[in-house]
Every structure is written in C-alpha cells, then in structure tokens.
Amino acid sequence: MSAASNMAIIKHSSIWIVFSYFYLSGLNMALTLSIDSQQDPDITMTLLHVFLFNCLVGHLITKYEKSWPEIASVVIALFGVVGFGHYFVGSLGEYSDELNIGLVLLLPFATFVMKKLKQYAEEKAAS
C-alpha cells in the first residue's frame, strides 16, 4: 500500500467515526419516536420504523461516499451503536440485545438497498 492510499483510508475512517456520533443522535430520536408512537411497543415495528431512518442515512452514505459505501455503513453502525451508543455516551444501554443487534445490521442493509435502488434508477434513466 502506498502512503497516499493509507492517508485515504485514515481520512475516510476518521470522517466515518465522526459521522457515527451524529448518526447516534438521529438514531436515538428515531427510536424514541418509534417507541412512543406505539401503544404496545414491538421490536419488529420499532426496527421497521428505524429502517426508514436508516434508508435516509444510507442514501446520504451512497451519495457522499463513492469509494467504499458498504464499509462506511458498517463502520458507522458499529461505532454509532456499539462505540458511542454503549461505551462513550451510553444512550443505547437500556435497550435489549436483540434490538441492538438489529440496529447494527440495519444501516449496512439499508445502504445496500439504497445503492441498488440508485443503480436501478440510473439504468432506467439510461435506457
């Protein structure tokens, strides 16, 4: 690996980690809104509502991260949910392990879905 390649990886990773803190802020709000909107909160409905928020974040990731959007989404989800959500801020510690696992997996899945939707839209526009 060249020095320029190493610097690109460091730069991208740093940006992703900073973004993961802001992702956690939005995720906390989406969780609160989802849980408060349900008469009897259910993990499936909560994850469905949060998936919609993650689609928005996935759209932003695929729009601005051209090199490695899938890796970016994994790093952002891990640092946002596990790093900041449990260890630094602790705001996600009160939720179940199942919900937390779902939260970590939702962003990479939503980013994948958004990338495929964008590719489909570009193919439709080209034909």
Q: CB–CB of 57/110 below 8 Å?
A: yes
Burial of 77 (0-12, 13-18, 19+ CB in 10 A): buried
Please tell me the number of Cα atoms within 13 Å of 98 on its side-chain side.
5
Q: Which amino acid is at 112?
A: F
For the whole model, what pTM was predicted? 0.89
- For the chain, the domains span 3-126
The CA distance from 31 to 10, in Å, is 31
Instruction: List the chain pLDDT tens, one digit each, 127 residues.
Output: 677 778 888 888 899 999 999 999 999 999 999 999 999 999 999 999 999 999 999 999 999 998 889 999 999 999 999 999 988 888 888 889 999 999 999 999 999 999 999 999 999 999 8
The CA distance from 77 to 75, in Å, is 6
Going by the DSSP 8-state scheme, the letter that residue 92 receives in this structure is T
pLDDT of residue 1: 62
pLDDT of residue 51: 96
Q: CB–CB of 99/47 below 8 Å?
A: yes
CA 117 to chain centre: 17
Q: Helices marked H in 38-96 — which ranges?
A: 43-64, 69-77
Token duo for residue 120: 């489909």
